[in-house]
Amino acid sequence: MSPGGKKSRARSPQELYDEIKELLIKTKPKLKDGTTRDETITRELHKIASLAQTFTEQRLKLSKKSQLSDFLDQEGSYHFRHLCEQT
């Protein structure tokens, strides 16, 4: 069970990717404006890192022929690099 007593369900690589992308889009402006509390940004960045780790672990378990995971991995890397370059 996850913290808070809620049982989390397994998510597909696509769902993880979508959630990571959504969090990156939501967090980026907070990094730029400097008015958001550090705890909030830190919590969101930890969530992104946790989701990325789960995505990577799932990817490693999948067959090397999984084109979806490869595409999502490349796409996620692109968006992460792009986000880092703009901050």
Q: Which residue has the higher pLDDT, 12 or 5?
A: 12
Distance CA 81, CA 40 (A): 22
User: pLDDT-derived band of residue 5, with 50, 70 and 90 as boundaries?
Assistant: very low
Q: Where are the domains of the chain?
A: 13-86
Model confidence pLDDT, tens digit, residues 16-46: 999 999 999 998 888 888 777 888 888 999 9
Q: Are 58 and 76 in contact (CB under 8 A)?
A: no
**What pLDDT, on a 0 to 100 scale, did the predictor assign at position 65?**
54
What average pLDDT does the chain have? 78
Please provide the size of the chain in residues: 87
Model confidence pLDDT, tens digit, residues 46-71: 999 999 999 888 877 766 556 676 77
Distance CA 11, CA 26 (A): 20
